[in-house]
Amino acid sequence: MASIKIMSDNLANKIAAGEVVEKCSSVVKELVENSIDAGSNNIIVELNDGGLGGIKVVDDGNGMNHDDALLCFMRHATSKLINEDDLFFINTLGFRGEAIPSIASVSLFDLQTCSGDIGSHIVYRGGELITDEVGSSRKGTVITVKNLFFNTPARLKYLKSATSELRYIVELIEKLAFAYPKISFTLINDEKTVVKTTGSGNLLKTINEVYGATVCKNMIELKVSNDDFEVSGYICKPEVLKSNKNHMITFVNNRLVKNYDIFKAINDGYYTYKPDIKYPIVILNIDMDPTLVDVNIHPTKQDVKIGKINELQDLIRTKIDKLLKDNLLINSAVKNLIEEDPTFTVNLNYEMPVNTDFVINEEPETFNQEEAVNDQLTFDLGVDVPEQETVINEELKSLKLYPVGLCLGTYIIAENEEGIYLLDQHAVQERINYERYFKALKEHQNFKISSMFPITIELNKTEFLAIMENIDYLKEIGFTIEEFGINTIIVKEHPTWLKEGYEEEQIRMILDLVAVQMKEFDPIKFNEHIAITLACKTSIKANYHISHEEMEELLDELVQCENPYNCPHGRPTIIKFTQYDLEKMFKRVMN
């Protein structure tokens, strides 16, 4: 007797269900995507106990006739693919024909649908047909799923709590609403409306309906395209960053996807505009030729492979960087407080709270503070660095600030006729130094200086191989490096922009960065890492008092920066209190 047998359709569906249906939100995703493909204008999702007690999806789409209503429970039955060539031109969310039979095999599945005059009512339980009768003539489809995983207890025990399952579904519906702003989505849990969008067709209005007015006011529209891609959507200003990546929401041809390469491009676009531990709110749809994307690599269809991904990454990264440069403004202290807490009111006992998002974790000081101030306030790269011919954002340049003092040994107090400004002296000089280092590296302003005593550095084997692999690039930025024994190099010349007296420490720092990036060495990112690291190390720290002349010089140099509003780690350099803010605090004005 043969030991290999063909499994039954019911068993095959149960196995497929393990891939397609992981939790309640998986069921909602498959059913709602079918409703979208059916041309629905209104989709209502009703849950009991976060989906654990039942899921109901109601739409006003095209519906199905009786024959199609029966066929949709057959495995691989689909109206969206006809032949093999169609796999390369997928324009619908569903196409495999696995979702409905998979879900029906592990639940009580009730389908009521109508495409015209006569409706159909089909019920499956555990993959077995138990009802086939005439149903309601209401055009559209109503699907109810109960007792999920009742016949697969191993899967049932992995369902989360009702609160967790509801959270997953809420997140899904919100994201689908961003992809299809013309569709009205309603999510109800235990007879309480949780999510409601109007289907206005205006993405910004949908963002307001989901995230609220504060986030909506801090969104920047993004539109960019080339021959292969058209990217559109909104990105947030750094004022409304989140603590996780869940709010970087991306769609490919309106399909919700999670793609590491796209996420990396977005994050790189925010590079130096935010702290590393914070992430932006971004909603982007990427339209492309279906032949450039493969959605058939995972049952959930959220993981995709994109052709020409490098070009797409560059398109997104450069556009985000430009938009942020063009739209950044000085932070208003009072405005930020009000947006964070709408109940905030100003009174005579007002105390400025500490923003824990921007706590500086400074490493132990290794440079002499006095030398750092004297040398860095008159920063010299060994060449004449011309002033910026244009300033991306003119706001700061037009302020004409005058420093009046230093508080807490850290914050420069400046004023003009509009109000007072607080500047973080470390963040200010860090931005100035960063842009000068990066400019010198980018434009190869690398005049060399020979060391009186060449610097010998011993490395481990991995580090040594990384250095030798990238030695040509190190030469480009001004280093003369040679092998000097086993896993040892000697540095005979180095760029003039290294801080005098601390050459070896900074050279070791740069070599460490090369070793870290050895797998995917990116010259541009490498230059940024060098500039950020050295800028931080050579800038004045908190609790160090500088003179009035040094304050003036810092302000003059900050004005010339391409982005004067953030340090390279994303922290703000300057915060303002307008005259009106101050007068309201002291109740000189009452409205």
* pLDDT tens by residue, 353-395: 333 333 333 343 444 444 444 444 443 433 343 343 334 556 6
3-state secondary structure of 172: helix
Query: Quick one: average pLDDT of 334-350?
Result: 44
Quick one: tokens of 310? 């490098």
DSSP 519: S
Q: What is the number of structural domains in the chain?
A: 4
219 and 351 part of one domain: no
Structural domain boundaries enclosing 280: 212-327
Which of the residue ranges 335-339, 531-535, 548-552 has the most confident prediction, judged by mean pLDDT? 548-552
Q: Which CATH number goes with the domain that contains 162?
A: 3.30.565.10
> According to the model, what pLDDT value does residue 97 have?
55
Q: Does 276 fall in a domain?
A: yes
pLDDT digits (tens, 9 = 90+) for 221-256: 999 999 999 999 999 998 888 888 889 999 988 888
* Contact indicator for 74, 105 with CB cutoff of 8 Å: no
> According to the model, what pLDDT value does residue 374 have?
43
Query: Quick one: average pLDDT of 535-557?
Result: 86
288 and 428 part of one domain: no
Query: Quick one: average pLDDT of 549-578?
Result: 86
403 and 361 part of one domain: yes
36 and 148 part of one domain: yes
Q: Does 3 fall in a domain?
A: no
pLDDT class of 265 with cuts at 50, 70, 90: very high
276 and 338 part of one domain: no
H/E element holding 111? strand 108-114
308 and 429 part of one domain: no
15 and 144 part of one domain: yes
pLDDT at 445 over 80: no
pLDDT at 310 over 70: yes
CA distance 569 to 43: 43
pLDDT digits (tens, 9 = 90+) for 66-116: 988 998 888 765 554 444 444 444 555 644 557 888 898 889 999 999 998
> According to the model, what pLDDT value does residue 47 have?
96
pLDDT at 300 over 70: no
Between 580 and 20, name the one with better pLDDT.
Answer: 580
77 and 134 part of one domain: yes
Q: Which CATH number goes with the domain that contains 465?
A: 3.30.1370.100
Q: Does 26 fall in a domain?
A: yes
Q: Which CATH number goes with the domain that contains 274?
A: 3.30.230.10
Burial class (CB in 10 A: 0-12, 13-18, 19+), 210: buried
> According to the model, what pLDDT value does residue 241 have?
86
Q: Does 591 fall in a domain?
A: no
Mutual angle of helices 425-442 and 548-559, in 10-degree steps: 50
321 and 465 part of one domain: no
Q: Does 206 fall in a domain?
A: no
192 and 263 part of one domain: no
Domain stop point among 327, 353, 379: 327
pLDDT at 280 over 90: yes
* 388-419 per-residue burial string, b: 16 or more CB within 10 A, e: under 16: eeebebeebeebebebeebeeebbbbbbeeeb
3-state secondary structure of 280: coil
CA distance 89 to 65: 26
Q: Does 1 fall in a domain?
A: no
CA distance 103 to 401: 65
Q: Which CATH number goes with the domain that contains 416?
A: 3.30.1540.20
* Contact indicator for 371, 365 with CB cutoff of 8 Å: no
> According to the model, what pLDDT value does residue 229 have?
92
Q: Does 207 fall in a domain?
A: no
247 and 277 part of one domain: yes
How many residues are present in the chain?
591
pTM summary value = 0.67
Query: Quick one: average pLDDT of 400-408?
Result: 87
Query: Quick one: average pLDDT of 455-471?
Result: 81
**Residue 262, φ and ψ in degrees, nearest 5:** -70, -45
35 and 163 part of one domain: yes
Q: Does 574 fall in a domain?
A: yes
**How high is the mean pLDDT of the chain?**
79
CA distance 444 to 357: 35
> According to the model, what pLDDT value does residue 6 have?
62
Domain stop point among 162, 196, 230: 196
Q: Residues 394-397: contacts with CB within 8 Å, 24+ apart?
A: 395/329, 395/330, 396/330, 396/558, 396/559, 396/564, 396/565, 396/574, 397/559
pLDDT digits (tens, 9 = 90+) for 122-159: 999 998 999 999 999 899 999 999 999 888 887 777 78
